[in-house]
């Protein structure tokens, strides 16, 4: 569980451009992993699920970052 907490806390330091770049990198890594798994089974197929969850966390952080920006200054 601490891996997840470390991952989420590391996202707070990134800006929107960094988050987008990281999402693209991880999506490419996911495609390569899924392709490799289709050809021959991976040693740890749970890594695909973990990577999908990390991508979802990145997209959530990006959405939260955009929501903070759109929030009015008075609140």
Rounded-to-integer distance, Cα 3 and Cα 21, Å: 21
Rounded-to-integer distance, Cα 48 and Cα 10, Å: 21
At 6, give phi and psi (nearest 5°): -60, -40
Question: What per-residue confidence (pLDDT) applies to 74?
Answer: 60
Give residue-wise pLDDT tens across range 24-69: 999 999 999 999 999 999 999 999 999 999 999 999 999 998 888 8
Whole-model pTM: value is 0.85
The domain locations on the chain are 16-68
Residue that wins the pLDDT comparison between 9 and 73:
9
């Amino acid at each position: 569980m601490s891996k997840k907490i470390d991952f989420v806390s590391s996202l707070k330091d990134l800006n929107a451009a960094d988050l987008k770049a990281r999402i693209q990198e991880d999506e490419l890594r996911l495609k390569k992993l899924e392709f490799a798994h289709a050809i021959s089974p991976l040693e740890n197929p749970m890594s695909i699920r973990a990577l999908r969850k990390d991508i979802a966390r990145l997209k959530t952080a990006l959405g939260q970052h955009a929501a903070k920006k759109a929030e009015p200054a008075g609140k």
